């Protein structure tokens, strides 16, 4: 029996160390209290911009994460068969040598044979750069199966999206709408914001099929049917347009609503902007009765009408196209009510409230500011309607267009980047054109032409070869998913297994539980990871995996690189990656080893740099081949992406007095530690609003190094890049999609936000056989699979029932704790259920990622997570049901490749309780490399 005692004395701590939480993606500041060299407790950092002292259940339970028995303790080499979980401890020298010997031949010969994918990685500034320097285009983090639709739709439409890109103006808003959010991503700030709204008696409208979490405390709940949010939003737009309740002045100033779009049915320029000889979009000036460049000062733009531009070219303003589209009766509340499950009266009432709040309750701040045309204004108008949306909207095959529709609604109300509305956080807004296009391979031993992930704008930027074959293993940036800004991680293993478009030699993953809750078709993925060729070799030849804990994925790797806990390593929450800024301030932060590891583990980022140096990757070694960085901390301080710009923006310059730009400061990390683990600097007063069009903000952003020249944003209501892909699908241009994808591109790539039925339901041979939807919600107390192994958080949720709507229970005679079979076109699971009426009547749901495989995460085999817990993943396939052309497509959004988790359609029937074990039930995994199989109790001895 192993024994370990945590300090239980009531005396105060010896020392407090301030760092950044990693118990979810939110990145709050925490004070870690130490006593006798052990963590005594964790509290929120009151000075920190993200949480201002607020700490959630997950954050305080970080102590149990740090001491978790499932922590990996040393590098491991597989000795049994893959999946058996049999390993032999090896030294770090041996582990690094092994990794390098597998990667070196690939680097020298064919870098794309390395597929390097990371999960909830908060160091993509490093990991993406490492992949670029290695020369493999096969890199992404987990965004493609999380919320890429939200991020990509926001960047393409207005230069930023929700969460890390911007936030509601909690202090001034007078009406708040939240879509598709249970408890995810922006965790503590949303809770704090909602309390501010409650204090001020501000109404919240929550749109979500399930009424839990934020939806449960909302003033009005819209229990929408999954996948129909776009239709609901377009119906609101229909109402606003019909009533003339849109902010025309705002649309003229800040959007492409007045731009002229060529109308030339069947022509190669149909749907493109009419442009002058310098390539500037044209606007029709009513006073001059002619087309002028959009950048011309003092014009009176026409918003309606068709104009003759000479030589037979006819064009209409974007606003006219928009009004024509959404005025259509198909978007009327009466016509969308049945599909969305929302009454026409409720839709009409919400549209009225939006318009009333935006226009009758406007906010005026008297403050001088100058726009990008050099015109000075003496006031700032606020339209106090704020919105927030996240994964529930995003994770559908129609998610990109739905996310765009929400942004269109915000913009029509004039509520973006103004007092009381939605406000960008630096370094956003940044137009999609200011982001690099995805880097292309440059040959063996050479870096990619740019970062592996980026934003493309025309077919010529696709990552496909001369025959149109995808260049990436996940087929991102191919005709199958052209705008896939975060890659398609959910397709990597199945494509590598199928050798489509080619096989890989090494699969290298970090913090991604791909053999369990992070994959669709988890059983199939396990089979793919263990499949062998006729010669007896694994189809995926080598798998390197790094994680801090013995997750289900560990058993499937050949080499394990054990990571530290988040309290034992350096990290930077960088402006080069996903910053923690506020609407009024720029900020970044660090993690640092507030505890020294007591095991033979190393921070993954340091290990990655060490492997890079051993491979001799450019930027990681000097001209003599010596490593440039001793470890990740050294990289954080000394790496410069370009002169003066490094991973951390604060305390730069030799003496630490510079912000944004400045030479490396050898004491930078200590300066962060001394400052509480973060750095923050206020945006100048005159630069705080209308950042997309504010001269003072743009100048300040250049000074800070966000970009090298001003990057104002014109909000793209009409997204011309989509029109270019539609034109290609209609046969125009040199870059042509494969024939079988043409109609899908024409149908889905509408330059104005559009709605189409989610693919899974649409492609079922018999849709009526699966009449219900099934979705997951993230519990407030847990963050993916990490949480459900945590000794404290497990006391909140130990298993996850399937919540079934009351009318279905009545029909099937179900009562609480009955067992049911749930089936989809792909599989069948047996689970325990509970009745609920706080849900859309056609939707059942469960908590995300509670179910565990027996033996994993150092939990006992009879832990409720493994006996009663379950995953919906077994019902979801990475491929859609067969289509008319006989082909099966990835279960993704056709524009971005976002994994369409929430398109799942199911049926349900009563089951016998049997042995009380949820199905499928997999064999027990070995407890691979965990520090202990003992139970962890705070304040008591560890005991079996």
Residues interacting with ligand SF4, by CB under 6 A? Answer: 21, 23-24, 26-28, 51, 55-56, 58-59, 187-188
Question: Shortest Cβ distance from residue 67 to ligand SF4 (Å)?
Answer: 17
- Rounded to whole angstroms, the Cα distance separating 214 from 373 reads 41
> Smallest Cα–Cα separation from 193: which of 179, 216, 214?
214
CB closer to ligand SF4 out of 55 and 876: 55
Give me the residue whose beta carbon is nearest to ligand SF4: 59
Taking the C-alpha atoms of 180, 186, 191 and 197 in order, what is their torsion angle to the nearest 10 degrees?
-70
In this structure, what are the phi and psi dihedrals at residue 610, rounded to the nearest 5 degrees?
-65, -40
Tell me if residue 540 falls in helix, strand or coil: coil
CB closer to ligand SF4 out of 188 and 843: 188
Question: Shortest Cβ distance from residue 23 to ligand SF4 (Å)?
Answer: 3
> Smallest Cα–Cα separation from 891: which of 760, 744, 756, 762?
760
Question: Shortest Cβ distance from residue 194 to ligand SF4 (Å)?
Answer: 13
In this structure, what are the phi and psi dihedrals at residue 464, rounded to the nearest 5 degrees?
-135, 155
Question: Shortest Cβ distance from residue 125 to ligand SF4 (Å)?
Answer: 19
CB closer to ligand SF4 out of 566 and 902: 566
Question: Shortest Cβ distance from residue 647 to ligand SF4 (Å)?
Answer: 20
CB closer to ligand SF4 out of 187 and 846: 187
404, 161 in Cβ contact below 8 A?
no
Residue 187: how many CB atoms within 10 A of its CB? Answer: 26
Half-sphere CA count of 33, side-chain side, radius 13 A? 14
CB closer to ligand SF4 out of 232 and 678: 678
- Rounded to whole angstroms, the Cα distance separating 871 from 847 reads 9
CB closer to ligand SF4 out of 68 and 809: 68
Half-sphere CA count of 108, side-chain side, radius 13 A? 8
6 contact partners, CB below 8 Å, separation of at least 6: 38, 67, 938, 939, 940
Length of the chain: 944
133, 116 in Cβ contact below 8 A?
no
Peptide bond preceding 123: is omega within 30 degrees of 0, i.e. cis?
no
CB closer to ligand SF4 out of 432 and 788: 788
Question: Shortest Cβ distance from residue 55 to ligand SF4 (Å)?
Answer: 5
Structure tokens at 839: 């849900």
- Rounded to whole angstroms, the Cα distance separating 256 from 218 reads 34
CB closer to ligand SF4 out of 55 and 462: 55
The one-character DSSP state at 724 is H
The one-character DSSP state at 666 is T
Question: Shortest Cβ distance from residue 60 to ligand SF4 (Å)?
Answer: 8
The one-character DSSP state at 358 is I
The one-character DSSP state at 884 is T
- Rounded to whole angstroms, the Cα distance separating 734 from 247 reads 40
Helix boundaries (H) for 838-929: 864-867
CB closer to ligand SF4 out of 17 and 692: 17
- Rounded to whole angstroms, the Cα distance separating 316 from 307 reads 6
Question: Shortest Cβ distance from residue 56 to ligand SF4 (Å)?
Answer: 3
- Rounded to whole angstroms, the Cα distance separating 492 from 104 reads 21
Question: Shortest Cβ distance from residue 677 to ligand SF4 (Å)?
Answer: 12
Helix boundaries (H) for 327-437: 333-340, 344-355, 391-394, 399-412
The greatest distance separating any two alpha carbons of the chain, rounded to the nearest whole angstrom, comes to 88
Question: Shortest Cβ distance from residue 186 to ligand SF4 (Å)?
Answer: 9
Task: Name the one residue in this structure whose structure tokens are 């956080």.
Answer: 425
Question: Shortest Cβ distance from residue 188 to ligand SF4 (Å)?
Answer: 4
Q: What angle do helix axes 318-326 and 229-242 make, rounded to 10 degrees?
A: 110
CB closer to ligand SF4 out of 41 and 821: 41
CB closer to ligand SF4 out of 53 and 450: 53
Question: Shortest Cβ distance from residue 27 to ligand SF4 (Å)?
Answer: 5
508, 496 in Cβ contact below 8 A?
no
Question: Shortest Cβ distance from residue 654 to ligand SF4 (Å)?
Answer: 33
CB closer to ligand SF4 out of 56 and 717: 56
Taking the C-alpha atoms of 56, 62, 63 and 67 in order, what is their torsion angle to the nearest 10 degrees?
160
CB closer to ligand SF4 out of 234 and 581: 581
- Rounded to whole angstroms, the Cα distance separating 699 from 684 reads 11
Question: Shortest Cβ distance from residue 48 to ligand SF4 (Å)?
Answer: 10
CB closer to ligand SF4 out of 192 and 248: 192
CB closer to ligand SF4 out of 188 and 518: 188
> Smallest Cα–Cα separation from 491: which of 457, 528, 459?
528
Structure tokens at 907: 């049926």
- Rounded to whole angstroms, the Cα distance separating 29 from 31 reads 7
Question: Shortest Cβ distance from residue 790 to ligand SF4 (Å)?
Answer: 11
CB closer to ligand SF4 out of 480 and 577: 577
CB closer to ligand SF4 out of 58 and 391: 58
Q: Which residues of 926-940 are buried (b: 16+ CB within 10 A; e: fewer)?
A: bbbbbbbbbbbebee
Q: What angle do helix axes 124-134 and 604-615 make, rounded to 10 degrees?
A: 20
138 contact partners, CB below 8 Å, separation of at least 6: 112, 114, 115, 116, 117, 131, 452, 472, 473, 474, 492, 504
Question: Shortest Cβ distance from residue 778 to ligand SF4 (Å)?
Answer: 11
Do the strands 905-911 and 843-847 form a parallel or antiparallel pair, or are they unpaired? Answer: unpaired
Question: Shortest Cβ distance from residue 265 to ligand SF4 (Å)?
Answer: 52
Q: Reading across the β-sheet that carries 114-118, which strands appear in turn?
A: 87-89, 76-78, 559-562, 542-547, 506-510, 114-118, 139-140
CB closer to ligand SF4 out of 28 and 261: 28
Question: Shortest Cβ distance from residue 54 to ligand SF4 (Å)?
Answer: 7
């Amino acid at each position: 029996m192993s024994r370990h005692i945590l300090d239980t004395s009531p005396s105060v701590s010896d020392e407090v160390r301030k760092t950044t939480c990693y118990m979810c993606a939110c990145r709050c500041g925490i004070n870690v209290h130490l006593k006798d060299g052990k963590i005594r407790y964790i509290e929120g950092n009151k000075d920190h911009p993200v949480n201002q002292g607020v700490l959630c259940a997950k954050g305080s339970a970080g102590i149990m994460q740090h001491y978790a028995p499932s922590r990996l303790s040393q590098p491991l080499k597989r000795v049994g068969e893959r999946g058996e979980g049999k390993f032999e401890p090896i030294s770090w020298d041996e582990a690094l040598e092994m990794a390098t010997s597998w990667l070196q031949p690939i680097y020298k010969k064919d870098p794309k044979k390395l597929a390097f994918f990371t999960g909830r990685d908060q160091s993509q500034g490093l990991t993406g750069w490492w992949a670029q320097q290695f020369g493999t285009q096969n890199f992404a983090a987990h965004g493609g199966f999380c919320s890429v639709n939200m991020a990509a739709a926001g960047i393409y439409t207005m230069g930023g999206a929700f969460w890390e890109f911007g936030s509601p103006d909690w202090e001034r808003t007078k009406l708040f709408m939240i879509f598709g959010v249970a408890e995810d991503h922006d965790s503590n700030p949303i809770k704090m914001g909602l309390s501010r709204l409650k204090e001020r008696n501000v109404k919240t409208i929550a749109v979500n099929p399930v009424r839990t979490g934020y939806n449960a405390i909302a003033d009005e709940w819209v229990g929408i049917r999954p996948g129909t949010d776009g239709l609901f939003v377009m119906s609101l737009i229909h109402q606003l347009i019909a009533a003339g309740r849109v902010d025309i002045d705002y649309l003229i100033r800040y959007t492409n609503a007045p731009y002229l779009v060529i109308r030339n049915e069947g022509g190669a320029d149909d749907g493109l902007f009419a442009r002058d000889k310098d390539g500037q979009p044209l606007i029709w000036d009513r006073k001059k009765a002619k087309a002028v460049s959009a950048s011309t000062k003092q014009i009176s733009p026409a918003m309606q009408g068709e104009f003759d531009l000479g030589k037979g070219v006819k064009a209409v303003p974007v606003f006219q196209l928009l009004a024509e589209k959404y005025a259509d009766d198909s978007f009327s509340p009466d016509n969308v009510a049945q599909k969305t499950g929302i009454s026409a009266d409720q839709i009409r009432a919400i549209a009225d409230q939006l318009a009333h709040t935006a226009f009758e309750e406007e906010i005026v701040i008297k403050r001088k500011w100058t726009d990008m045309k050099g015109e000075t204004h003496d006031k700032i108008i606020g339209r106090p309607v704020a919105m927030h949306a996240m994964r529930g909207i995003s994770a559908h095959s129609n998610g990109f267009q739905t996310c765009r529709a929400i942004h269109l609604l915000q913009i029509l109300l004039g509520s973006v980047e103004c007092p009381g509305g939605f406000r960008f956080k630096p370094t956003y807004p940044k137009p999609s054109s200011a982001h690099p296009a995805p880097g292309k391979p440059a040959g063996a031993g050479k870096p990619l032409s740019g970062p592996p992930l980026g934003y493309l704008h025309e077919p010529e930027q696709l990552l496909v070869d001369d025959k149109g074959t995808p260049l990436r293993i996940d087929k991102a940036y191919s005709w199958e998913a052209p705008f896939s800004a975060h890659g398609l991680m959910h397709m990597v293993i199945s494509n590598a297994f199928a050798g489509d478009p080619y096989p890989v030699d090494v699969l290298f993953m970090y913090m991604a539980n791909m053999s369990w809750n992070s994959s669709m078709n988890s059983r199939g993925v396990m089979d793919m990871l263990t499949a062998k060729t006729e010669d007896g070799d694994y189809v995926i030849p080598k798998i390197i995996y790094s994680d801090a804990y013995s997750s289900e994925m560990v058993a499937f790797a050949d080499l394990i690189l054990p990571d530290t806990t988040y309290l034992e390593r350096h990290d930077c929450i960088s402006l080069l990656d996903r910053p923690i800024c506020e609407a009024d301030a720029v900020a970044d932060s660090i993690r640092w080893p507030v505890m020294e590891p007591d095991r033979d583990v190393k921070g993954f980022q340091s290990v990655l740099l060490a492997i890079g140096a051993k491979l001799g990757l450019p930027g990681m070694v000097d001209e003599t081949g010596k490593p440039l960085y001793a470890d990740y901390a050294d990289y954080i301080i000394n790496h410069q992406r370009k002169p003066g710009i490094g991973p951390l923006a604060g305390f730069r310059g030799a003496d630490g007095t510079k912000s944004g730009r400045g030479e490396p400061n050898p004491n930078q990390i200590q300066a962060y530690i001394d400052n509480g683990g973060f750095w923050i600097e206020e945006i100048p007063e005159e630069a705080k609003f209308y950042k997309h069009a504010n001269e003072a903000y743009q100048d300040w952003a250049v000074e800070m190094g966000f970009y090298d020249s001003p990057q104002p944003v014109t909000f793209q209501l009409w997204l011309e890049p989509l029109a270019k892909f539609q034109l290609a699908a209609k046969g125009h241009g040199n870059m042509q999609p494969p024939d079988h994808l043409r109609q899908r591109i024409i149908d889905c790539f509408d330059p104005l936000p559009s709605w189409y039925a989610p693919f899974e339901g649409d492609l079922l041979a018999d849709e009526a056989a699966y009449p219900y939807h099934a979705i997951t919600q993230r519990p407030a107390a847990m963050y993916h699979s990490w949480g459900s192994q945590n000794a404290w958080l497990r006391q909140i949720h130990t298993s996850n029932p399937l919540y079934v709507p009351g009318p279905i229970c009545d029909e099937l005679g179900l009562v609480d704790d009955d067992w049911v079979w749930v089936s989809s076109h792909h599989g069948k699971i047996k689970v325990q259920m509970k009745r609920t009426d706080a849900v859309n009547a056609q939707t059942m749901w469960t908590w995300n990622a509670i179910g565990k495989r027996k033996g994993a995460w150092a939990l006992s085999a009879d832990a409720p997570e493994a006996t009663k817990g379950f995953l919906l993943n077994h019902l979801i396939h990475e491929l859609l049901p067969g289509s008319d052309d006989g082909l099966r497509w990835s279960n993704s959004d056709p524009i971005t490749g976002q994994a369409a988790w929430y398109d799942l359609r199911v049926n349900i029937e009563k089951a016998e309780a049997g042995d009380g074990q949820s199905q499928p039930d997999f064999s027990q995994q070995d407890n691979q490399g965990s520090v202990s199989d003992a139970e962890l109790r705070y304040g008591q001895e560890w005991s079996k």
